[in-house]
Structure formats: C-alpha cells, structure tokens
A = this chain, B = another copy of it.
Amino acid sequence: MKPTEIGSRQAGYDRRDFQSYQKNMKTISKTAKMQSTVLDAKRRGRMIAFVPTMGALHEGHLSLVRKANKLADIVVVSIFVNPTQFGQSEDLSKYPQSLDEDKRCLRKLDVDYLFLPDEAEMYPDGYVTYVEAGKITSILEGASRPTHFRGVTTIVAKLFNIVQPDVALFGQKDAQQALVLRRMVKDLNIPVKLIVAPTVREKSGLAMSSRNRYFDGEQLNRAACIFQGLKEARKLIRSGEADCGKIVAAIRKKIRQTKGTEIDYISINDTETLDPIKRVSGKVLISVAVRLDGVRLIDNIIV
C-alpha cells in the first residue's frame, strides 16, 4: 500500500468525523460501566439528563434530546427494546430498528453517552424483581396490554438506577406512561425530575411514532384520521359539547370512515387519576388506540 493511499484514507475518515460527530459520543453496553461513569460525574457536581428510548428514533425523540441538552451538563440516551413491556402476541420481534441511523442522529445532537445494553445485561438469568404501580396501570393501555406497565415501571426504575439522572424526559404521546412513571417516582421517592414534552406530529397531524416506519405514504395518510378524530373532539368540546358519549361517537365516526382501521379504545379520562369521565367539566385527556392494517397506534390530546 502506498503512503498516499493511507494518507487519503485517513483524511477521508477525519473529514467524516468532523462533519457528523460534533462530540465524541461514547456507546456503553454494560450497566456497571454506565453506572460508575455517571456516579463519577455526579461526585464532581455534574447534572445528568436522560432520554430513555427503544430506538427507531424520530423527531419526537430528538426534540427530547435537544431539550435535555439545555437542562444538564451530561446527556445520556438509552436504546433498549424492553421485552417485559411487550405482550406475548405483540410486535417485539419485529419492532423497528435503525441503530446506525439512530447513532448518527444522536451524535449530531451532542449526546454524551448512548447506553445500549442487550437483554442478558438488563434481565440476566435468575431475574425476578418487578415494580408495580397499582390501579392506573390496569385501564386504557393497561387493559389492552395487561403486563405492559409493569414492564415499563420496572425497566425505567432500573434505567434510573443505572443512569442516575437529575432530569428525565418523556413524550406526551405516551400520556398514561407519563402518569404511571410520575406515580412511581413519587411513591418510591426517586430523586429525578420528570419532564413530559408535547407530542411531535407530521404535517398531517399524525403523531410521530417508531411504528410509523411500518407504513408507506398511502398508509401514513390514512393514519392521520386518528388526530383528525381528536381535533374533531376538541372542536366539539370548545363549542360546548359536554356529553362524552357524543364526543367519543364523533371520533369513532371519523376513524371508521378510514379503510383498514380497527378501534381498540376511545376514552375520555381525568388528566391525573385517569378516572373515566361522563361529562366534560374541567381538563380532560382524550385518548385513542387504533390498529391500522394491523399496526397498533396510540394518540391523545388534553382539552
């Protein structure tokens, strides 16, 4: 090999490094290494912001990472498709993955650490411990996915212990998840501030979701019916409609008009307790779960 070849190759690598990697993001796959890294940083007074994800990152995730960068000295993002929050008949094995692309996005956003454990690292042989957060985990998403929130609270409790964040960021798209995690953090006295950021949407109004990757353009257009239904409900409430039966019926009509949809639930609930509501008086959470061509999508608005 000629010296010039080596030279040009190195130059090529360098250029790519400087273009894409503003910071030298470190990828850590071991819990012990991740934990000792952040504990060292905290002993030196550093603040840590954390965005837990299952990868297949979209603009919703990236908006959380940008916010995290403004809030702390060190930003940690985790990518772990958590098996304990998927039911047996769910899409764990085909959950979308795009690790190389995800890493590129996170490097561009100046993330300090990507925590990327595998399943054996998070749930080693003999694993038995679960965190359960009571009644609010058994309605809405919990009714459709009975062990889902037990998986969510458990993995988030573990990740909080591993990453030791001062602040952690979640999306409002998973409204019930945010409430369940607030409950867990309060009940277990976990010293972390939770920030729930607004749902990021496509131009069509469709909530950004990793599962949108299952769709082509035509399907994405149809999926927009969910948010159209929610907007319809908002319009009704703002024009004085208080009967939740009628509001739900309007959303149902909008979604049923669209080919390939199968409604799992449409529900109006208290924004804190998630108690079901019959007549709108104060703020309410309107949430929807729909299968489109077999792919399960959720969305919600607070009115």
Is B135 within 8 A of A164, CB to CB? Answer: no
Say which one of A153-161, A231-239, A260-268 lies at the interface with B: A153-161
- In the complex, what residues of B have CB within 8 A of residue A120's CB? none
Q: Which of A42, A129, A164 has the most CB of B within 10 A?
A: A129
Copies in the complex: 2
- Give Cα A191 to B31, complex, Å: 11
At the interface, yes or no: A3 with Cβ under 8 Å from chain B? no
Measured CB to CB, the closest approach of chain B to A184, in angstroms, equals 5
Q: How far is the CB of A192 from chain B (nearest CB, A)?
A: 9
Q: Are A129 and B191 in contact (CB under 8 A)?
A: no
- List A101-152 residues whose CB lies under 8 Å from chain B: 127-136
Question: Which residues of A, 21-43, contact B by the 8 Å Cβ criterion?
Answer: 31, 35, 39, 42-43
- A129 partner, pick from B42, B43, B188, beta carbons under 8 A: B188
Q: Contact between B133 and A131 (Cβ–Cβ < 8 Å)?
A: no
Residues of chain B with a CB closer than 8 A to A31's CB: 189
In the bound complex, CA of A131 to CA of B129 (Å): 7
Interface check A187, CB cutoff 8 A: yes
**Contacts of A130 on B, CB cut-off 8 Å?**
131-132, 134
Say yes or no: A158 contacts B128, CB within 8 Å. no
User: How far is it, in angstroms, between the C-alpha of A133 and the C-alpha of B130 when the chains are bound?
Assistant: 7
- Scan A160-184; emit 1 where CB is below 8 A from any B CB, else 0: 0110100000000000000000011
Report B-chain residues with C-beta under 8 Å of the C-beta of A158.
Answer: 187-189
Beyond A42-B42, A42-B43, A43-B45, is A187–B128 a contact (Cβ under 8 Å)?
yes
Q: Write 12 A-B pairs (CB below 8 A) sorted by A numbering.
A: A128-B134, A128-B135, A128-B136, A129-B131, A129-B134, A129-B183, A129-B184, A130-B132, A130-B134, A157-B188, A158-B188, A164-B191
